[in-house]
Amino acid sequence: MICPDDKMERILECTTCGERYITHGCDHGMRSYCEKCDEMLEASSRGQVLRTLLLSISCLILLIPANVYPILRFSFQGQWTETQIITGSILLVEQGSPLVGTMVFFTSMVAPIALHLMVTAACAFLLLGWFPRLTRHLWRMLFEFQEWGMIDVYLLALGVGAIKLLSMGSVEARPALWLMLLFVLISGMCLGSLNPCAIWSELRQRSRSKRLLPADEEDMVACHHCGTVQQENPEEKCEVCESKLHPWVIDDRRVWAYLFTTLALYLPANVLPVMTMSLLGDTENYTIMGGILYLWHDNDYLPAIIVFCGSIIVPIAKITALFFLLISYKWNKYQKLQTRVFHIVKTLGRWSMVDVFVLAVLVALGQMGVVATIEPQAGAIAFCGVVVFTIFAANSFQARWIWTYHQTSPSTEKRMNYAHGTQATT
């Protein structure tokens, strides 16, 4: 096949399985998929960037009052207290849990704000053609940073914490709660509309090189992030996403280290108390399972199930799945199944933070002097470490290992296959 004169011919490598294709770019409404692993290779970006920019600006506007005004008010025995998003983080630090407080502050405030600032800047620069190198850096960092914005998980924890406090007093929604609900809805639409394949396709069309087909195959190197195959350059930087170019290396030692660290923290996270609750002179320590049973015995079945899934089921499932992937990627079979397992692990890991956020909400609302107090304990630090190290482990594992452990260099004919397009649903 001959490439039309008005389209640039490029070699694109699937970042999941390593198959290479010649591509001429995607027309509007088209997407191309890898014939080997079924992962998306390219997509049209028409209209996506402007839509994402408008949604991201709306999110930033909503975040200002959502972080300034109170979210909930808790009343008990004639006393009341209100909480903002930052309140729980401050109290956790003051009560001797700086690591937990910092993690809550980062994931519930810093990361969402930074994420939408990056989205706004990246979209605006791409549309206007400003700062092309910075634009490529922003898009790469954005896709790597996206999972750390957990305000949707925090919102779920607000509901669980409010239901738990209803057995003690009254809980009222404050203005910022509705702003947070609206933010989570719009943010989901904004981030859901971001298709990395479409962005890389757009940036490939704007790259410095007019033709990225190296004359000598020995000079061909593929970017780990965007999959663009290009000639090695003195800067050792990808011309599309500015990431560092280097050969693929299978090294799972870091993943094993993170997993064993997680296992070392998992036992104390479940055995040690995560919080101490004092109510009218009665003091009781609660472990993770103890808090779940407390909710269940109060007939709060839905919150108990949510916390059980997020704090017990998800960490166990994620640790088990990662061990399975570390053992099975050398089998040279069931690659598609293993890839699906990996994607599920990457998606679900952040929801384990729900129990940490519940603790932050309870600490923020439960400070009423001699009447009632709620304080964090050592188990919360261990459980926060479990969440963080499982995320690190999942990010250190590469789906490409599943497909390339037994793979030799692909043949020239295979590299010359054309990416097949399918009509996108609209």
pLDDT of residue 408: 52
Q: Are strands 220-222 and 228-231 parallel, antiparallel or unpaired?
A: antiparallel
Angle formed by the axes of helices 354-365 and 151-166, nearest 10°: 50
H-type helices in 193-329, by residue range? 196-205, 253-271, 288-297, 301-308, 314-328
Strand order in the sheet with 170-173: 79-83, 72-76, 170-173
pLDDT of residue 197: 85
Q: What average pLDDT does the segment 228-239 reach?
A: 76
Number of neighbours of residue 340 by Cβ within 10 angstroms:
13
Q: Inform me whether the pLDDT recorded for 425 exceeds 70.
A: no
Helices (H) and strands (E) in the chain, counts: 17, 14
pLDDT in tens, 105-126: 999 999 999 999 999 999 999 9
Helix or strand or coil: residue 425?
A: coil
Q: Inform me whether the pLDDT recorded for 411 exceeds 70.
A: no
pLDDT of residue 371: 55
Measured distance between the N- and C-terminal CA atoms of the chain, rounded to whole angstroms: 29
pLDDT of residue 57: 95
Q: Inform me whether the pLDDT recorded for 99 exceeds 70.
A: yes
pLDDT in tens, 362-372: 888 776 554 56
Q: What average pLDDT does the segment 195-224 reach?
A: 70
Amino acid at 287: T
Q: Are 212 and 10 in contact (CB under 8 A)?
A: yes
Q: Are 79 and 368 in contact (CB under 8 A)?
A: yes
Contacts of 231 (CB under 8 A, 6+ apart): 212, 214, 219, 220, 221
